[in-house]
Structure 1
Amino acid sequence: MSANIDTFENRLSSNATAIEALLDKLLSSEVLSDEITRPERLRAAMHYAVLNGGKRLRPFLVVEATALFGGDREAALRVGAALECVHCYSLVHDDLPAMDDDDLRRGKPTAHIAFDEATAILAGDSLLTYAFDIIASTQGALAESSKVALVLALSRAAGVGGMAGGQALDLAAEKQSPDEQGIVTLQAMKTGALIRFACEAGAIIAGTPANDRARLRLFGEKIGLAFQLADDVLDLTADAATMGKATGKDASRGKGTLVGLRGLAWVEATLNRLVCEAEELLAPYGERGKVLADAARFVANRKS
């Protein structure tokens, strides 16, 4: 492993520690103003679903994209925590028997196994709602106009035209395999939309000009596709112990993937191209873009 990747992974780990400390506080039993109470079993399920491991890549991208433009780190951490709540809600619901019916997530029992189905559904509902609470209540350097922009961008990334819609397409793909463009669309929605938001959010937090926001949005789209391509490869080649979840499920359910359609050699070439395109987008920022460039390489080359 190169020194650059070692340094990057240390930074990723450091950011994860900061995000997890904030999430632990946000998901405590402390009752906020205008809340009546926090039912303990529901709160515990939310805490379990969020703080059960993971690389915290999405909040990392928020923090580092914000840092690229010299934006406020505390605001970035809170927006990153909100995004992680949305991501983890989606995992809780994806794992349900009515969806992917998984028993294992990050090497531990899924939320509906550890608690029960009804509690898992409510935990997901509550995490999604709480995400927008976290953004709206963020104090400090985040302007009100930025909060509105973040809420709108996250809503679009998470909803019917983004992640949730992508899950609907994914379920439909079990009955009829989509063509190549259909797979690209599905993956851009289910996986790519939240990664796109993570990168674009940094520009919003920092209050950058529109061209910077568009550049970071496109960067997020590139690495979002790379993330899913790498995930498809791992689903074929890695074992459940390494991944912390069941593998080989796409093939067993007859779902089409770009790996299945195009083969591993094409995917590897595409990953290399996407990393190069992502680096080119960061070129105007010089050395300041190095961490995000390392992130693009990490996403494409990850082993779990």
Structure 2
Amino acid sequence: MPSDRRPAGSGPTSLPGLRLLGSELGVLFRRRRTWAMLLALAAVPVLIAVAVRLSSAVPPGRGPAFLDQISQNGLFVGITAMLVAVPLFLPLTIGVVAGDTVAGEASLGTLRYLLAGPAGRGRLLLVKYAGAVLFAVAAPFTIALVGAGIGAVLFPVGPVTLLSGDSIGPAEAVGRLLLIAAYLAVSLVGLAAVGLFMSTLTDVPVGAMAATVVLAVVTQVADALPQLDWLHPWLFSHRWLDFADLLRQPVVWDSFAANALLQAGYVAVFGALAYARLATKDILS
């Protein structure tokens, strides 16, 4: 069966790193698996919107946050869908993409070829991680944009009342929705770094994918246990849902900055571990 990966040197630019990056992104976003995952994520807001549309009034306080407000304003579809997707669906897709970065090349027998080129191991890791990060950006933005679209089709759209009690227009509300998607994208870069490291530990992509997803679930379980309060601030999932400050007027950036700092720590640590592992790994395939 022919591989869908093309040689690293087939890009249009003469710079090895950019050539490799272009090849990696082309392979990633030409895959049926990638689009299947994005379509599955897009189905989350569609399912929520259709369910609310076909049902009677949602009792306040039942279901995910903002679910009872969807029928009054369709822009809440995107926010509700992102809340639903954060615990499992988004980590699952990131785990699949990040876990395949290095292990996927090893399983196809192309890792040795890539490392024999001018890119080098460090540059290859950066390119692989960049591809995972780009998917981490595309995933929440897909949910947000599809949610806003289906919400506008099925429900009225008007001013949105923020958590601070202030009211903003629909255009600004869409901007806040995209800001939440950006927050979630930042939240997932730490998990992507963990998946990259897991991918350097094995030549079996499914093993790296499963380990990354299981770790994401375990950290969320640990974060819910009050007995582990001392550990919570260090878990990469601890601030995944702390985007309430983006729904205030004016926007408070403290949680965004704290989340970015936390994820940067994971990127630094697990990026270094991934490089150390790949740099000393005996590449047999």
> What TM-score comes out, normalization by structure 1 length?
0.28
Larger Rg over CA atoms: 2
Greater relative contact order: 1 or 2 (C-alpha under 8 angstroms, separation 6 or more)? 2
> What TM-score comes out, normalization by structure 2 length?
0.29
